[in-house]
Amino acid sequence: MRYRKSSYKGKRIGVTEYGHANCCGSPVARKDIVVIGASAGGMDAMEQLVSRLPAGLPAAVFVVWHLSPGIKSVLPSVLGRAGALTAANPQDGDPIVPGRIYVAPADHHLLVERGYMRVTRGPKENRFRPAVDPLFRSAAYIYGPRVIGVVLSGALDDGTAGLWTVKLRGGTAIVQEPSEALHRSMPLNALENVAVDYKLPAAEIGELLGTLVRQEAGRDPELPEQEHERRKMEHEVRIAAEKDALDEHIMNYGELSPFTCPECHGVLTQLREGSIVRFRCHTGHAFSSDTLLNSVTEQVEERLWDAIRVLDETVMMLNALGERFSTAGNTKAAEQCFDKARAAHERSKPLREAANDNETLSTEELKVAAGS
C-alpha cells in the first residue's frame, strides 16, 4: 500500500489548545476518541468487542495490532464483518470520521492529530511498528479527556505506558479481564501500573464503549507535572512522526542508563512515569523494562550462537587446511592445524551448553517462578 503525503508538512505537531467540539461537530466535547491496543490473542478479543459496538457510533475507533513487516493485515476485513462499523487501513493525512474503525497498517505507526491521522515509519517502540504506545500517547496529547484507551490480550507490556498517559491527561482506561485473555501479560501489566477505570471481558467492553462515547468529557486536569509531561509527550509524538530523535532532546527528560539499545546499540535514557520505568535511545527506539529484558535475554542466545558459528567455521577451516598440508607432505603443519581444530571445538562446547540453557525472560515469567 502506498501512502500519500499529507498537508502535515509545515505544521507543528503538538498544538496545545483543546477545543470544545468533538469529532462529530457537537458543541460539547464528548469521549469520542477510542484507542485500542492488542497483540497475541488480540484478534478474537477485538472481534468480540467490535461485535457489540452500535451502528452510528458517535466516535472514531483506532486500533493497533502487532504485525510483522511485509504482512498484509486482514484485521480491517475481519472487524468489518464482525460488527456494524466500517473498518479500514487509513492513509497519511486522512480525516477522522466518526463511526469508523481505523486499523494501523503493517510496519507503520498510527498517530492521531487534531482532525486527521498520521501514518508514519517512525522508530520502533517495544520492537514493534505499529506499536500501541505511540497511538495512545498521540491521542492523549491532542484530545486529553476525550480519549478512551483499551488494552486487550497480548504478550509483554506494550500499551501500559500509553494507557498511563491517557489517564494522566484525564482520559478513561479500560483493560480486558486477564482471566479471559488468551495472553494476559498486556492486561496484567496495565492493571499493575495504571489506575484503570474498568476491567471487563472483551464483549462487555464493546457494550460499555457504546455508553461511554455519549458521555461528556471532563476538563483537562491541572497537575504539577503536566507541563513537564506535556513537553515530553510532544517530543515523543514527534519522534513517532519521523522527526529526528536527536533534535527532540528526549535524553533531557531522563537519566542515562548503563544499557544499550537492542535495535541500534545506542545509549538508552531511562524515563519514569509513575511506577513505570522505560527507555529510549537517541535514535528514537523505545522499550519498556519488560521488552528490554526480553530483548537482552533473547540476544544472549543469538550472540552465543554467533560465537559457536565462528568457532565451527574455525574448526572446518583448520581441518581443511590440515588436509592440504597433509596432502603436500607437511605432516607437522597438518598436525598443528588438527590440534588447533580440536581445541577450538572444545572451546565451543560450553558455549553450546550455555546457548541451549539460555532463557528468554519476561517479568511475568519471573513472577510466576517466584509464586507471586
Summarised one tens digit per residue, pLDDT across range 316-351 is 999 999 999 999 999 999 999 999 999 999 999 999
Catalytic member of 39, 138, 185, 288: 39
Task: Tell me: pLDDT of 242 over 80.
Answer: yes
Summarised one tens digit per residue, pLDDT across range 2-17 is 444 443 333 333 333 3
- Whole-number pLDDT of residue 371: 77
Return mean pLDDT, the chain: 90
Catalytic member of 32, 94, 133, 158: 158
Catalytic member of 32, 66, 94, 290: 66
- Whole-number pLDDT of residue 225: 67
| Fold (CATH) for 33-212 | Rossmann fold (3.40.50)
Instruction: Give the CA dihedral 303, 304, 306, 308, nearest 10 degrees.
Output: 170
Residue 369: exposure state from Cβ atoms within 10 A (0-12, 13-18, ≥19): exposed
- Whole-number pLDDT of residue 14: 34
39 an active-site residue? yes
Separation of alpha carbons 158 and 188, rounded Å: 11
The C-alpha cell at 195 is 489506575
The C-alpha cell at 94 is 486522512
The C-alpha cell at 83 is 460488527
| 335 C-beta neighbours (distance < 10 Å), count | 13
Separation of alpha carbons 95 and 99, rounded Å: 13
Locate cell 519476561: which residue? 362
Cα radius of gyration (the chain)? 25
- Whole-number pLDDT of residue 6: 41
Look up residue 232 and give its amino acid.
K
In this prediction the pTM is 0.84
Please state, for a pLDDT cut of 90, what percent of the chain lies above it: 77
Task: Tell me: pLDDT of 21 over 50.
Answer: no
Where would I find the H helices in the chain?
42-51, 75-82, 132-143, 160-168, 185-193, 202-212, 226-240, 289-327, 331-357, 363-369
CA nearest neighbour of 63 among 81, 89, 36: 36
Locate the domains of the chain by residue range: 33-212, 291-369
Separation of alpha carbons 193 and 168, rounded Å: 12
345 an active-site residue? no
Asked whether 164 and 137 are in contact (CB, 8 A), the reply is no
Residue 346: phi and psi, rounded to 5, are -65, -40
Summarised one tens digit per residue, pLDDT across range 71-123 is 777 999 999 999 999 999 999 999 999 999 999 999 999 999 999 999 999 99
Separation of alpha carbons 202 and 177, rounded Å: 7
257 an active-site residue? no
Distances (CA, A) of 105 to 92, 118, 197: 11, 11, 29
Asked whether 269 and 279 are in contact (CB, 8 A), the reply is yes
Q: Is beta strand 100-103 parallel, antiparallel or unpaired with respect to 109-112?
A: unpaired
